[in-house]
Amino acid sequence: MTDLQKIPDSELEIMMIIWDADEGVTSDYIMDRLDKTWQKTTVLNFLSRLGDRGFLTVHKQGRFNVYQALVKKEDYLQKESKTFLRRMHHNSLTSLVASLYDGAGISKEDLQELKKFIEEAE
- The pLDDT tens digits for 83-118 are 777 777 777 777 777 776 665 667 778 778 878 877
Spatial CA neighbour of 68 closest among 22, 29, 106, 119? 22
- The pLDDT tens digits for 30-41 are 999 998 889 999
pLDDT of residue 118: 79
The residues pairing with 86 across neighbouring beta strands, listed in sequence order, are: none
pLDDT of residue 2: 47
**Alpha-carbon torsion angle 99, 89, 91, 98, nearest 10:** -10
Domain 9-69 has CATH 1.10.10.10: yes
CA distance 66 to 60: 6
Domain ranges of the chain: 9-69, 73-121
pLDDT of residue 121: 75
- The pLDDT tens digits for 73-85 are 998 888 877 777 7
The predicted model gives 7-27 an average pLDDT of: 94
Percentage of residues of the chain with pLDDT beyond 70: 89
| φ and ψ at residue 65, rounded to 5 degrees | -85, 135
